[in-house]
Amino acid sequence: MAKVADLYYQLDPWKIAEKGFDKNRSEVSEAIFALGNEYMGVRGYFEEGFSGATLLGSYFNGIYENSPEENRVQYKGIVKRSHFMVNAVDWLKTEIIIDGQRLDLNRVAVRDYYRELDLRSGILTRSFQITTGTDKEVFFKFERFLDMEQAQWGYQKISVCTKAENVELELTLGADFNSEHVSQGQNFWREIKKDTVGETTGILGETLTTKQKVFSGFYLKNNQSLSSEVVTRDKFIGRKFNVKLSRDNCFEVEKHVNNIVSKTPIATEKLWQKGIRDSQRQQQISYEQTKINQKVYWKKVWEKYDITINGDELNQQGIRFCIFQLQQTYHGQNKTNNIGAKGLTGESYGGLAFWDTETCCLPFYLLNNLDAAKNLLEFRYETLSQARLRATELDCKGACYPIATLNGHEASDLWQHASLQFQPSTGVAYGIFHYMNLSDDTEFLYGHGIEMLIEICRFLASRGDFSPTGEFGFFGVMGPDEFQMMVNHNGYTNYMAKKTFEYTLQTLSEIARVKPERKIELISELQLTQEEQELWKLCADKTLMLIREDGVIEQHDGFFKLPHLDIQEIPIEDFPLYHHWSYDRIYRNDMIKQPDVLMFQFLYNQDFSFESKKVNYEFYEPKTIHESSLSPSIHSILAAELGKNEAAYEFFGFATRMDLDNYNRNTREGLHTTSIAAAWMNIVYGFGGVRTDGPILQLNPTIPENWHDYEFKFTYKNALIAVKVSQKFVSLTKITGPDITISLYDKAVTLNDEVYEIKRNY
Amino acid sequence: MAKVADLYYQLDPWKIAEKGFDKNRSEVSEAIFALGNEYMGVRGYFEEGFSGATLLGSYFNGIYENSPEENRVQYKGIVKRSHFMVNAVDWLKTEIIIDGQRLDLNRVAVRDYYRELDLRSGILTRSFQITTGTDKEVFFKFERFLDMEQAQWGYQKISVCTKAENVELELTLGADFNSEHVSQGQNFWREIKKDTVGETTGILGETLTTKQKVFSGFYLKNNQSLSSEVVTRDKFIGRKFNVKLSRDNCFEVEKHVNNIVSKTPIATEKLWQKGIRDSQRQQQISYEQTKINQKVYWKKVWEKYDITINGDELNQQGIRFCIFQLQQTYHGQNKTNNIGAKGLTGESYGGLAFWDTETCCLPFYLLNNLDAAKNLLEFRYETLSQARLRATELDCKGACYPIATLNGHEASDLWQHASLQFQPSTGVAYGIFHYMNLSDDTEFLYGHGIEMLIEICRFLASRGDFSPTGEFGFFGVMGPDEFQMMVNHNGYTNYMAKKTFEYTLQTLSEIARVKPERKIELISELQLTQEEQELWKLCADKTLMLIREDGVIEQHDGFFKLPHLDIQEIPIEDFPLYHHWSYDRIYRNDMIKQPDVLMFQFLYNQDFSFESKKVNYEFYEPKTIHESSLSPSIHSILAAELGKNEAAYEFFGFATRMDLDNYNRNTREGLHTTSIAAAWMNIVYGFGGVRTDGPILQLNPTIPENWHDYEFKFTYKNALIAVKVSQKFVSLTKITGPDITISLYDKAVTLNDEVYEIKRNY
């Protein structure tokens, strides 16, 4: 089962670089070199086209299509039509014809190929040299980046130079709505309008069924003051330069692109006008100035979020890549955005956001960018009405959050997931609780937070049930361990629900105490009744947790009686099991896909004794095959806590490099964005021993043997703290902000302007 | 939950008759008046066309198409493409234009309408009178029947008479491959050839993807020696008469139709020649003679199979309708035929055969037509290689029989049924066991029978598993109660498997003893090993049956801990639950769809004590909602055995009239053929108290209070026996055959040429 690294990119603390071009890795590199700014994302494809393997993907957060086919299984409560993030306008579209021949790196020998993504600026460059069919040497350089603040703006620069004479270059730059959504095998766009207005060349497309619109306008500036002619085809508009290049002569063109999306219906002309105006505004700012702005932006990010690791160059590069990608994917720009399983880097998983958002991604933002964390929760509030609708589809009350979504509606048409898994709902409740541990945002909690909590409790109480002997729990569910289906009293589901009831009731008491007028409002606006609160209390009090004498919590009723499967005996070629095993075979033994009992022991970490965590870890870990890429990090975090340092390091592996080294051999489909978040957690919560599931932040740092030292930063109660851990010492530095108290090795420490240093505990 | 009868047809012991035409019942009547002869079936649609609701269905046993769409859920072991019985040639196709106006009973006022199906001849007639647009009175009479022995032949006769002058009649009779398969919304036929050869007008069609061919040829004979012209359209050939009718004048035309199917590939010309030859042969036999032959055929059937009920006219008519339909649907003509859930009377359930064949239909044939019973088992032998393939798709050994099929391949693309339900496989084993109780056919048992048994055992042993404490059973299954999914140790599955292992091992010992050379052959041909036989013994010995102290067998591990649902509180408008409840909601309480524990207590009836059956009946019956139409009959049979006479009669209800009175309001989709078989069992096994699950046939007759007496017949060990039961007496008469011993009220009785009569026991 061992996964093997595929080291390919240059080792560098601040860069991802590819020296020399390997055609077989073209799609993996498209994912690795993907750029994003939350608003949009574009894979690192060759803008000039590539006849080899390529997934030419350009995405906008929240721009989606409905799946063309209806689900054939049409029982009530089963999603009829799924949706997915749709491949959108190729705004980097370029055609290069050099001495009559189309540039295609699949068909021409390339020299001095070099591609680099600079994590300090977000700028992606690529340069190489070719010899044309007419035996002339030509040098190319491409550059692209996205504006991290003016998020609708993207930039591209192309330079073509030669040392030969009379090189004929035809260069067309445009915007193209013809890209196919590869996994669906079709294009989902209709062209609405295209035109040139002043310096702006624009095109406006609309999705076929969701009727979302995207405007893409661009402005070109070249170093030879050459004029270009407009080229149009169906769903495409471009501008073509005819250039004659000679010895030591370069043609250089900058493309300033302005992409404006409208997720909700808008009149074509209104969007067109807005697009043109915004493009004109963009033309006021120089390309070079914008590049500088990006460096400034990323400098601030690294000042707050950077992690340094001395003694492990691979993980040093890896963790920076992770932080860079998390920031690219999401930073709280807009509360209608969320974090897809693959970010904005591929089509896989339909670009959908899962429960990982609250459980695995939220911590990164809670400790680095509290506004972004809040916006992730606001996304759930924005989509509360969809969750209410989903609950009624399931014959339940309240609100049921979707397993997978872009627009708030359930997108999973596999009923065994969409109708049996409730970790998204309890995850939202957990997210609110977690956010409140790190903020004092009672305005949110008493406002949107409590509304969501009430509706989630209503859902849980109506979906759960009482056994004939009076225990409350959930029947016919699937917990995070997706290898056990239609089980009763799944420990995760029961425990998370119990905690949700308790936190909601506690919050309601608090509101009654400190803001009684809000309680009255809730009673009238949400028809909150005393009876339902009593029911939630009863549910919480009667929730069944099956705990064996030795402290092992039974994953569900009957788990201990399942046939045992020795997972070490599964041949490596059987993985992934979903592809190689008969579907039902996965579900009838004690094999575990990903942590379930251990997951809630991680989330509500401080609820459980060291002994309880130890006995459960030792029971469940050997049964777990980690078929989710999040699984090893959760195990590593718990192993570190339990003093199992070897296991902690082994499970950590090179979590930070899962994609860089293509461990799962599917990075070409897109980056494992939520695993990237888990890798960050693996360092901060695992080795760093941070815990945020209580009223005070806990720190219990350990350090892998082969690391000299490492340092991570976080923001807690407005203070920016740096934690440096070496083999012998732990030092805490408050960089900015007020004095703050945290717990270090179970001892309260108040950080002020002095560095606090102690010996490492163990 | 009470279902209400919709009495519509005339009450008559031997006929189903409709007086006056109700447009709203057109489709129900199409099912009720469907004709079949196992080879083909045709709904009772109006051959002249009908612009109201109609399902113009004409079917051939085993002629099917693959579903146009692939299953979107494509995990391993999940069926990618389903198949279904396809709507085929409309060989009754007629067009009638009278004084320029098309005859359409939806658009013209009709008088003296009368339709009748005579159960003693299988002849369907229809007559009525209309007034034309030109104000002339015209009388129509239609007649049709299928040849029960020359099964490819069907007949139709049309008479048109008038008392007016100069009525112009255009009458076209033809064969039409244009019918749409309504549930799929398309036609699945390609025309290959059409032509006239001598007196025969023929057309040959082929299914689109399965490439099965059907030849339909016809010959017309009219009473006025008029000639007709050939009319052709795409996929249609017909002959048109232009007739002038005058006062007291009739035009009468007979159509002799010859339909030849080829289930396996055949050259077009070969089939065409065969079709033409066979049509010529058909022309040698007169229409009237063939009609007489049918009466003779049915007379013999009734002599052997009839059930008479004195004192209950409704059930008298009902049970005859049932027997008639069973004989029409299947009588063992061909071992590549089986019994679809709707026979040959509609598209519903894809025309597929389910596990009901062995458990519910087989008994009718076992007691009436042993050759037919054997052919049903031979169907499973014919499709053994498909069942082997299915087992490998499920990562198992041996052979797994399909939940639903026409061609032996699994047709159900719902994995929760196709991958979790094994009653088809244990049902085949049970069928073999059951057949052997009624025959001495060791040639079958030691030949095809043991091969199937071995392969079924292999499947069961590889799909089952051992719990950590050593009990054998099935994990992740769905028993006959389809409201409990992915359960462990389902009592039905475990028990049926245990019995299968035991019967197979017993049969293998017997073979080793009486025919050792066959055992050696099995070892070499099937690689039968000692190890696997030991494993089967271990599986049988260690099979876990969960029995509570009070004798209640737990339906599966954990059933007793499920939330209780009071089924009496479900509002009537919630039924059927599959349509009104969220899919997952059905699966998480103690509600039962159809008997599960009670089912295996019925099948292996003599394995269980009276007390065991009583306590289980009393526990499970109140939880059962009978969402399968078979369920009430099984309950009625057990209730009769347990002396619960009131319940027995209540559950019997008018089982024999489920379709005649459209109890489920879906008869229009086709007859409930397997429920019809259950209704027959309800009388013979229920009130008659017949048991055939042991070495000697048992009889324990009861009688409903309001019946004066009833009589049923069966053939047992070559003797035809009549059992007459009145309120006071039971009399047994051996009509033909050797002396035979049976058990009556647990006392052995040898029947010879004297009538044996005793007082009824209770």
Tens-digit pLDDT profile for residues A501-530: 999 999 999 999 999 999 999 999 999 999
Which residue, among B123, B124, B54, B41, has the nearest Cα to B89 in the 3D structure? B41
Tell me: do B189 and B278 sit in the same domain.
yes
Where a domain ends, among B624, B653, B680? B624
Could you give the CA distance from residue B41 to residue B673 in angstroms, rounded to a whole number? 13
Q: Looking at B583, B599, B624, which one is the last position of a domain? A: B624
CB atoms within 10 A of CB A286: 12
Query: A657 Cβ partners below 8 Å, 6+ apart?
Result: A5, A314, A315, A317, A318, A321, A663
Q: Give the residue among A207, A203, A204 at the shortest CA–CA distance from A238.
A: A203
Residue A665 confidence (pLDDT) above 90 = no
In our burial notation (b when 16+ CB lie closer than 10 A, e otherwise), range A304-315 reads ebebebebbebb
CB neighbour class for B440 (10 Å; exposed up to 12, middle 13-18, buried from 19): exposed
* Interface test mutation site (partner B, options A481, A584, A587, A588, max chain B beta carbons within 10 A): A584
Tell me the CA distances in angstroms from B686 to A138, A153, B633, one per residue in order.
Answer: 93, 79, 8
Would you list the DSSP string of A146-160?
E-SSSTTEEEEEEEE
In a domain, B11, yes or no: no
User: Are B121 and B208 in the same domain?
Assistant: yes
Domain membership flag for residue B740: no
pLDDT at A270 over 60: yes
How does residue A260 score in pLDDT terms, banded at 50, 70 and 90? Answer: very high
- b or e along A354-379 (b: 16 or more beta carbons within 10 Å of the residue's beta carbon)? bbbbbbbbbbbbbbbbbebbbbbbbb
CA angle B430, B436, B440 (to 5 degrees): 170
Using an 8 Å Cβ cutoff, are A760 and A704 in contact? no
Average pLDDT, chain A: 96
**Are residues B279 and B386 located together in one domain of the fold?**
no
- Whether residue B445 lies inside any domain: the answer is yes
Question: What is the rounded distance in angstroms from the CA atom of residue B146 to the CA atom of residue B159?
Answer: 18
In tens, the pLDDT along A41-66 reads: 999 999 999 999 999 999 999 999 99
CATH code for position B510:
1.50.10.10
Residue B380 shares a structural domain with residue B295: no
Strand B101-102 and strand B94-98: the pairing is antiparallel
- Taking the C-alpha atoms of residue A475 and residue A464, their distance in angstroms, rounded to an integer, is 7
In angstroms, the Cα distances linking A594 to A340, A484, A582, A625 are 19, 11, 19, 7
- What is each CA distance from A643 to A625, A638, B439, in whole angstroms? 22, 9, 71
Output phi, psi for B739, to 5 deg: -65, 145
CB contact under 8 A, B71 and A69: no
What is the average pLDDT across B337-366?
Answer: 96
CA A140 to chain centre: 33
Q: What is the pLDDT of residues A293-333, one digit of tens each?
A: 999 999 999 999 999 999 999 999 999 999 999 999 999 99
A393 contacts chain B (CB < 8 A): yes
Decide if B467 touches A, using CB distance below 8 A: yes
Six-digit token pair at B727?
A: 């309120």
Is the per-residue pLDDT at B761 higher than 90?
no
Question: Can you tell me whether residue B732 is helix, strand or coil?
Answer: strand
Dump pLDDT digits (tens) for A599-642: 999 999 999 999 999 999 999 999 999 988 899 999 999 999 99
Question: Are B121 and B201 in the same domain?
Answer: yes
A576 touches chain B (CB under 8 A): no
Tokens of A469: 């002997």
Report the C-alpha gap between B486 and B417 in whole angstroms.
10
State residue A674 phi and psi, 5-degree precision.
-75, -25
| Burial per residue of A536-563, b for 16 or more beta-carbon CB atoms within 10 angstroms, e otherwise | beebbebbbebeeeeebbbbbbbbbbbb
| Stretch B489-513: mean pLDDT | 98
Classify residue B668: in a domain, yes or no. Answer: no
Give domain status of residue B417, yes or no.
yes
Q: What value does the mean pLDDT take over residues B598-614? A: 98
Same domain, B461 and B537: yes
Closest partner residue to B475 (CB to CB) among A75, A468, A562 is A562
Question: For residue A303, how many other CB atoms are within 10 A of its CB?
Answer: 12
Tell me the C-alpha distance between A188 and A177, whole Å: 9
* Predicted pLDDT at A4: 73
Rounded distance between C-alpha atoms, residue B390 and residue A582, angstroms: 11
Last residue of one domain, picked from the residues B584, B608, B624: B624
The span from the CA of A395 to the CA of A175, in Å, is 46
> CB distance B583–A486 less than 8 Å?
no
Helices B384-393 & B370-382, crossing angle to 10 degrees? 40
Whether residue B71 and residue A72 make contact (CB cut-off 8 A), yes or no, is yes
The answer to whether A77 contacts B585, with C-beta atoms less than 8 Å apart, is yes
pLDDT tens per residue, range B725-746: 999 999 999 999 999 999 999 9
Q: Count of domains in chain B?
A: 2
Which of B582, B586, B587, B627 has the most A C-beta neighbours within 10 Å, making it the best mutation to test the interface with A? B582
Per-residue pLDDT tens digits for A469-506: 999 999 999 999 999 999 999 999 999 999 999 999 99
Q: Percent of chain B, pLDDT > 90?
A: 95
- Binary contact (B558, A557; C-beta < 8 A): yes
Give tens-digit pLDDT for A523-549: 999 999 999 999 999 999 999 999 999
- Name the strand (E) or helix (H) holding A104: none
Q: What is the pLDDT of residue A98?
A: 96
Quote the CA–CA distance of B320 and A215 in Å, as a whole number. 73
Query: Distances from the Cα of B620 to the Cαs of B585, B617, B646, in angstroms?
Result: 20, 5, 17
Same structural domain, B146 and B284:
yes
Provide the 10 A C-beta neighbour count for residue B309: 25
Cβ-count burial of A733 within 10 angstroms (0-12 exposed, 13-18 middle, 19+ buried)? middle
**In the beta sheet, which residues pair with residue B245?**
B167
Averaged pLDDT for residues A409-424: 97
Rounded CA gap, A30 and A42, in Å? 9
- Assigned token pair, B382: 């014919």
**Confidence tier at B3 by pLDDT (50, 70, 90):** low
Reply yes or no on whether the pLDDT at B4 is more than 80. Answer: no
State how far the Cα of A366 lies from the Cα of A373, in Å rounded to an integer. Answer: 5
For A:59-78, CB contacts with B below 8 A are: 69, 71-73, 75-78
Is any Cβ of chain A less than 8 angstroms from the Cβ of B571?
A: no
Q: Which of B124, B122, B106 lies closest to B48 in space, CA to CA?
A: B106
Return d(Cα B542, Cα B230) in angstroms, integer: 71
Q: Do B270 and B401 have their domain in common? A: no
Closest among A204, A315, A314, A339 to A262, alpha carbons compared: A204
- Answer yes or no: do B391 and B242 share one domain: no
Length of chain A: 762
Report the 10 Å Cβ neighbour count for A611.
11
CATH number of residue B193's parent domain: 2.70.98.40
For residue B588, report the phi and psi dihedrals to the nearest 5 degrees: -130, 50
Task: Give the tokens for residue B721.
Answer: 């026996």
Give me the residues paired with residue B721 across strands: B714, B734
Domain that holds residue B165: 33-66+80-301
Q: Does B619 share its domain with B532?
A: yes
Interchain CB contact of B548 with A (< 8 Å): no
* pLDDT computed for residue B157 by the predictor: 98
Q: Is residue B42 part of a domain?
A: yes
A695 touches chain B (CB under 8 A): no
Q: What is the mean pLDDT of chain B?
A: 96
In 3D, which of B157, B138, B128 has the Cα closest to residue B291?
A: B157
- B573 close contact with A: CB closer than 8 A: no
Rounded (10°) CA dihedral A692, A698, A702, A707: 70
The residues with which B397 forms a beta bridge, in sequence order, are none
Classify each residue of A184-216 as buried b or exposed e, where b means 16 or more C-beta atoms within 10 Å of its C-beta. Answer: beebbbebbbbeeeeebbbbbbbbeebebbbbb
Whether residue A9 is predicted with pLDDT greater than 70 in this model: the reply is yes
Residue with tokens 């064949």, as numbered in its chain: B357
Short-list A570, A626, A561, CA closest to A598: A626
Answer yes or no: do B273 and B377 share one domain: no
**C-alpha–C-alpha distance, residues B333 and B345, integer Å:** 18
Task: Tell me the C-alpha to C-alpha distance, in Å, between residue A730 and each of A141, A164, A644, A726.
Answer: 46, 61, 19, 6
Query: What pLDDT sits at residue A3?
Result: 65
Q: Would B453 be classed as within a structural domain?
A: yes
Closest CA to B68 of B208, B265, B235: B208
- Cα A579 to Cα A278: distance, rounded to the nearest angstrom: 48
- Cα-flanking dihedrals φ and ψ of residue B546, to 5°? -90, 105
Tokens found for residue A706: 């082969």
Q: Where in B266-377 does DSSP place strands (E)?
A: 308-310
pLDDT tens, position by position, B690-706:
999 999 999 999 999 99
**Contact B589/A475, CB-based, under 8 Å?**
yes
CB atoms inside a 10 Å sphere around CB B312:
17
Would you say residue B128 lies in a domain?
Answer: yes
A-contacting residues in B 229-288 (Cβ below 8 Å): none
* Pair B403, B290 in one domain: no
pLDDT of the residue at A1: 42
Quick one: pLDDT at residue B446? 98
Separation between Cα atoms, residue A720 and residue A703, nearest integer Å: 22
Contact B714, B367 (CB under 8 A): yes
